[in-house]
Structure 1
Amino acid sequence: MRSSNPVFSRRGFSRDNGYAGFNAQQPQAGGPAVGTNPYAQGTANPYTDGATNPYATNPYAQDAQLGAPQQARGNVMTIDDVVSRTAMTLGTVVLTAVLSWILLPVDPGNLGKSYGIGIGAALVALVLALVQSFKRKPSPAIILAYAAFEGVFLGVISSVVSTYIADGVVPQAVLGTMAVFAGVLFAYKMRWIRVTRRFYGFVMAAVMGFMLLMVANLLFAVIGGGDGLGFRSGGLGILFGVIGVVLGACILALNFKEVEDGITYGAPREESWVAAFGLTVTLVWIYLEMLRLLSILQGDD
């Protein structure tokens, strides 16, 4: 079974397969045929006590022992595939966000309606993300539909924040998200960030704890009113906003590791949709945390 967390919804992070890419060695002549290329035929995953990799039958994977292609590699994932699919998903998010901002008024008389549409779109996006997470193969239609509904939610929430809480904060949040993406990508390419099993475990535990605290804060806010446990305002809100952005940056590193391993070990081209999905979910996370953090900072001025 694959992870139910949409951020980690990929074969690399499936519960039954472990993470085949961690500490994987590059194919070398005369090297072992098992436990090197996680996408090669018959390759066993060294982290699952002999369990076979989900791409064990990939006819396009490199031969793990000889380091040579088994046949013409015309159906494998490339960086261009990942870039183009990610551009499609993020473009869909941006387009629907802009349209919802323009078409859904946020004046006091229609604020409730706008909130309802935004929350409804967020719930639909969550359901679609979970559906994709449990599918064995990526579905471009589901991923693009998720991006569309997520964009509606982002457009509504951004419009409300810009109109009633912190004017001008949305462009700052967008630039901040782009800066985090560029910074993590640079650090990853320079090998300042090394994604290991320990790193993955730490990030997973931290993300789960963070999400549980946010859910608890929401429940207290609904029951007792106000800001619940205080995680959304003041000094505590700033602290958790910074933590949220840092966790998003860590998740980005995991996304980059997925892309790198998929390209190195000959993942099927369809897996580029999974990579695009993961990157989109992570960037949405970072944007929302950046928007909340900047709103608090601007409100405290």
Structure 2
Amino acid sequence: MKSSNPVFSRRVFNRNEQNLHADDAAVGLDPYAQGTADQSGTVHDVDAVSGPQPAVQQQVGGAAMTIDDVVARTAMTLGTVVLFAVLAWVLLPVDEAGLSRSYGIAIGAGLLAFGLSLVQSFKARPVPALILAYAAFEGVFLGVISSVTSTYISPGVVIQTVLGTMAVFAGVLIAYKMRWIRVTRRFYGFVMAAAMGFVLLTVANLLFSAFAGGDGLGLRSGGLGIVFGVIGIILGACFLALDFKQVEDGIAHGAPREESWLAAFGLTLTLVWIYVEALQLFSILNGGDKSA
């Protein structure tokens, strides 16, 4: 499974058995449906030039991933984010004397977290230490920007943001389990295209803000900032649905237990995305034209 952050492309779980998911294979989304079956039920890999070829059987090594594994690894990763966010909030002052130093540490931690997430995204297998290190640095970044936003822009906004993030997660999970959200090829393509556009606009806004000053393109303040924030949260919710789909497929097809770390990594990235967008949105709603 690849990162759920739209900056990165997505990767599927390692296949551990030859079962096919008929519905997903029909729309081309099942990462495990890599072949065709003849009348005897034997699975063949499809070669675009020479046609179907006998598939190489993959041996199941070790325990298969379960939902309990995913929940445990996700709790561990998110717990690390929360722990270091609280430590950063308490230990890094954001008063006038210490604001610059704390903000510099937060930016450095954010860049390190981004770099570690890139490294993990390009690795073939999950590295738990790398994922937990990413979570720790991400926690430092979130702790400082949350403290700054709560102190200088909108007191109480962090509680609103946490509750909002939890509500989005619960809402998407319920909608996915009830099959109100169906992850199809069209859904996937739309989400990826919208996410790329969103990221490009965000980068453009940052560049305009850095070189021209002010609010850049105005995407992080006022009415346009509210609309942009809502779109960001909706995109995060869509990526949650993609994460749930990949976890469901991994469990159904017996992915190795270690792949639960990738599930935790993807879910954490998505929840951090939603939290940051919600923090920005609530800060605008509570603080007028100010932005985090």
Measured in 2, the distance between the counterparts of 1:300 and 1:103 equals: 29
Question: CA 1:33–1:277 in structure 2 vs 1: closer, same or farther (change >3 Å)?
Answer: closer
Residue in structure 2 matched with residue 242 of structure 1 by the alignment: 230
Write the distance in 2 (CA, Å) between the matches of 1:21 and 1:128.
Answer: 36
TM-score under structure 1 length normalisation: 0.82
**RMSD (CA atoms):** 3.0
Query: What residue is the counterpart of 2:78 in the other structure?
Result: 90
- Give the Cα separation in 2 of the matches to 1:262 and 1:156: 35
- Equivalent residue number for residue 188 of structure 1: 176
Q: Please give the per-residue CA displacement for 1:62-90, whole angstroms capped at 9, x wherever unaligned.
A: xxxxxxxxxxx851110000000000000
Number of the residue aligned with 1:67: none
Question: In 1, distance between residues paired with 2:261 and 2:56?
Answer: 19
In structure 1, what residue type is equivalent to 2:45? A
User: Which structure has more strand as a fraction of its residues?
Assistant: 2
Verify the 8 A CA contact 2:209 2:216 in the aligned structure 1: yes
- Asked if the contact 1:96–1:151 (Cα under 8 Å) also holds between the matched residues in 2, the reply is yes
SS in 1 for 2:249: helix
Local SS of the residue matching 2:98: helix
| Identity level (%) | 67
1:151 is matched with which residue?
139
The question of whether the paired residues in 1 share the 8 Å contact of 2:34 and 2:46 is answered with no
Q: CA deviation at 1:59?
A: 2.1
SS class of match (2:254): coil
Change in CA separation of 1:5 and 1:293 when aligned onto 2, cut-off 3 Å: closer
**Corresponding residue of 2:161:** 173
Q: TM-score, normalised by structure 2?
A: 0.84
**Equivalent in 242, 266, 272 of residue 278 of structure 1:** 266
- 1:206 aligns to 2:207 (yes or no): no
Q: What code does the residue aligned with 2:59 have? A: P
Map Cα deviations across residues 88-139 of structure 1 (whole Å, 9 max, x no partner). Answer: 0000000000000000000011111111000000000000000000001110
**Is there any run of 5+ residues in structure 2 with no aligned partner, and where?**
15-20, 27-32
Number of residue pairs the alignment of both structures matches? 270
Answer whether contact 1:97 1:152 (CA < 8 A) is retained: yes
Measured in 2, the distance between the counterparts of 1:23 and 1:83 equals 24
Q: Give the whole-Å Cα distance in 2 for the aligned partners of 1:272 and 1:185.
A: 18
How far apart are the structure 1 equivalents of 2:186 and 2:109?
A: 35
User: Higher RCO, 1 or 2 (CA under 8 Å, sep at least 6)?
Assistant: 2
